[in-house]
Structure 1
Amino acid sequence: MAGFELQVKEKAKVLKIYFKKGVKIVGDSCKKGWNRVKHMKG
């Protein structure tokens, strides 16, 4: 059981890292999109 729990914890750590990177990428693309919209109106 202990080995299984360690595997789950390791996978959770990796997923957190990927999730953070993913959020950053999405945030950047949203900023770019909003900038385009602002420039179109302006």
Structure 2
Amino acid sequence: MVNFERQVKERAKGLKVFFKRGFKIVGDSCKKGWYKVKHLRK
């Protein structure tokens, strides 16, 4: 049971890092997209 809990914690830690990285990538591409859209209107 203890081993299972440890695995879950390790996986959660990995997911957190993965989500942060993914979020940053998505955020950056969204910023670039909005920048293009704003400049197309002008």
TM over 0.5: yes
Please, which runs of 5 or more residues in structure 1 have no aligned partner? none
Number of aligned residue pairs: 42
Percentage identity across aligned positions?
A: 67
Please give the root-mean-square deviation of Cα atoms over the aligned residues, in Å: 0.4
Distance 2:34 2:7 in 1: 40
Residue 12 (structure 2) pairs with residue 12 (structure 1): yes
- TM, length-normalised to structure 2: 0.97
TM-aligned CA deviation for residue 38 of structure 1:
0.7
Which stretches of structure 1, 4 residues or longer, exceed 3 Å deviation after superposition? none
Find the counterpart in structure 2 of residue 38 from structure 1: 38
